[in-house]
Amino acid sequence: MLGAAAKVWLESGAIMQESEPTANTHASPAALASSIVTAQENLLEQRLSHSQDTSDVDASSPGEMMTLRHGLRSGGWSIATVLLLFTVFEEFDRVAMQVLGPDIQASLGVSDTLLLGLQSFGGVVLVLATLPFAWLADRRSRVRVLSAAGALWMAFAGLTGVVVNTFQMGLARAGSGLGASARVPIAPSLVADQYPLGVRTRIFAIEALGRPLGQVLGPLFAGAVVVAAGDDAGDWRVVFLALLIPAGLTILWSLSLKEPSRGQQERIALLGDTAIVAQSEPPVLLSAAFQRLKKVRTFYFLVVGIGVLGFALIAVPGAFNLLLEDSYGYNAGKRGWIGAITWSGALIAIPIAGRIGERLFRKNPSSALRMMGACIVLYGVFVTVGLRFHSPTVMIALTTIGFAFQGAAFTQVGPSISAIIPYQMRSQAFAMVGVY
C-alpha cells in the first residue's frame, strides 16, 4: 500500500505544507505520511475537477470497504454518539425558537421582522465564531474545546428561558450561537481522525442524522412541554430550562472522550502501521490555509454553493412556523407535530444517501458531488412548490420531501472535504464552510 501511495506522491509531485516556522527539518514517518497524503489529496482534487475516472485512487483514498459495525467497533461508539447528541440538543434549542416563535413574539411584544432577526442572530454568531474555534482546535485538545463550548452553549440556552426583553434575548441567542459554533469545525475533524476511511462516509451520515432527529423530536419536545405546563403565553420558557438536563448529561459524557491522533487514519491506510504516531507539528497559519484552500476548485465551489443555500436554510424554518400561525392558526402543539412530520423523511433519506454516496465516491468521486447538487435542486423545487399550495396536507407532504432531499445532500459535504483537504487544515476548512 505504501508503494502505491508513493507512486501517487511521485505522480503529483512533492507538495510542501505551508505552516508556521519550525526548527525541526529532519524527515520523520509522520512528515512523510503528511507529504504523501497532501500530494494524494491534491491529485484527487485534480481528478475531481476534471471529472476523470478515479478507479485507481479509489483503492487508496477511501480505504477498504468494511461494515458499519466493524467501523464503529474500530473507532468506538463514544465519539459518534456524543457528536450525534450534541447536534440533536443544539437543534432542540433552535427548533424551540422556531416552533415557539409566535409565543415568544407575544410575550416580548416584538414584530415578525424582529422575531426573525432574533432567531437568525444566533446563526450569524455561529458562523462567524467557527474560524476562531478552528484556530483553537488546531492548538488544543479538540474534545476539551468541544466540551467547554458545549457548556457555554448550555448556559446561554438556559438563559433564553429567563429573558424579559429583546436585548437580553439577543445576548442569549448570541451566546448560544457562540457555544454551538465549535461543533462545526471540530466534529467532522474528529470523525475523520477517529474512524477508518472505509466507513467514514457512513459515520458522517450518522452524525448528519442529528439535525433531522432534532427537528423531529425537538418540536414534539417543545410542544409537549408547553402543553403540559398549561399552554399559557409564558410557558415557552419552561422548554429551554428543561433542555438543560439532557444537555448537561451529554457534556459530562464528553469529558471522558479521548483525543484521536490527527491524521491517524491516513497514516494507517498509507503506512499500514497503527504504531506510527505523528510528531508534534506546528499548526497551519489561518492566512496560509485560506490562501491554499481557495485554490482547491472543488472546495471553493462547495463553500460558495452552501453559502448561497444558507439564506434558505436559516430563513425558511422561522418563516414556515409564522405561516402556520398566521395563515392556519396552529398553536405550539400543532406546529410541533407538523415540524416533526416535515423532517421525518430526512431520517430515511440520510442513511440511504450515505450508503449510495459512498458507493458513488468509490467509482467516481465527482458523481457523489453531482448527487449532492441534484438533491439541493430538488430540495428547492419541492419546498417552493409546496408553499404555493393552500391545502395544509399537500403543503406538508411536499415540504417533507424537500427536507428529505436537503438532508441527503449534506451527507456528502463531510466526506468530500475530508478527501480533498489535508488533515492539517481540516478544522479550518470545515470552519470556512460555515463562514461562507
Q: What is the pLDDT along the chain (436 residues), one digit of tens a residue?
A: 333 433 333 333 333 333 344 434 344 444 444 454 455 445 445 544 544 443 333 333 455 567 888 888 888 899 999 999 999 999 999 888 888 888 888 888 888 888 888 888 888 888 888 888 988 888 889 999 999 999 999 999 999 999 999 999 999 999 999 999 999 899 999 998 899 888 888 898 888 899 889 988 888 888 888 888 877 778 899 999 999 999 999 999 999 999 998 888 877 777 665 545 555 555 666 666 666 766 777 777 777 777 667 666 767 777 787 788 888 888 777 877 888 899 899 999 999 998 898 888 888 888 888 898 899 899 989 998 998 888 989 999 999 999 999 889 888 888 888 877 777 777 777 877 766 5
To which residue does cell 433564553 refer?
160
- CA torsion 192-41-202-372 (nearest 10°) is 130
Residue 432 has a pLDDT of 72
Contact 420, 48 (CB under 8 A): yes
Contact 351, 412 (CB under 8 A): no
- Show the beta-strand stretches assigned E in 219-369: none
Contact 271, 60 (CB under 8 A): no
To which residue does cell 464528553 refer?
254
Q: Which residues contact 228 (CB under 8 A, 6 or more apart)?
A: none
Contact 209, 357 (CB under 8 A): no
Sign of CA dihedral 346, 334, 156, 238: negative
Spell out the SS3 assignment of 308-343: HHHHHHHHHHHHHHHHHHHHHCCCHHHHHHHHHHHH
Sign of CA dihedral 17, 20, 21, 27: negative
Contact 263, 423 (CB under 8 A): yes
Task: Compute the distance between CA of residue 324 and CA of residue 102 in angstroms, rounded to an integer.
Answer: 10
Nearest to 336 by CA among 312, 357, 320: 320
> Based on C-alpha coordinates, what's the Rg of the chain?
22
Please give the C-alpha separations between residue 60 and each of 7, 119, 147, 272, 365, in angstroms, as whole numbers.
11, 44, 34, 11, 13
Contact 199, 76 (CB under 8 A): no
Task: Compute the distance between CA of residue 62 and CA of residue 30 in angstroms, rounded to an integer.
Answer: 20
List the domain boundaries for the chain. 2-14+25-58, 68-262+285-435
Neighbours of 25 (CB within 10 A): 6
Task: Compute the distance between CA of residue 3 and CA of residue 36 in angstroms, rounded to an integer.
Answer: 11
In degrees, rounded to 5, the angle at the alpha carbon of residue 384 between the alpha carbons of residues 382 and 388 is 110
Task: Write the DSSP assignment of 221-250 as a string of letters.
Answer: HHHHHHHHHT--TTTHHHHHHHTHHHHHHH
Environment class of 11 (CB within 10 Å of its CB; exposed 0-12, middle 13-18, buried 19+):
exposed
C-alpha cell of 309? 443555500
Contact 15, 37 (CB under 8 A): no
Prediction pTM value: 0.73
Q: Which residues contact 393 (CB under 8 A, 6 or more apart)?
A: none
C-alpha cell of 325? 400561525
Please give the C-alpha separations between residue 18 and each of 7, 281, 291, 423, in angstroms, as whole numbers.
23, 12, 10, 13
| CATH T-level topology, domain 68-262+285-435 | Growth Hormone; Chain: A; (1.20.1250)
Residue 86 has a pLDDT of 95
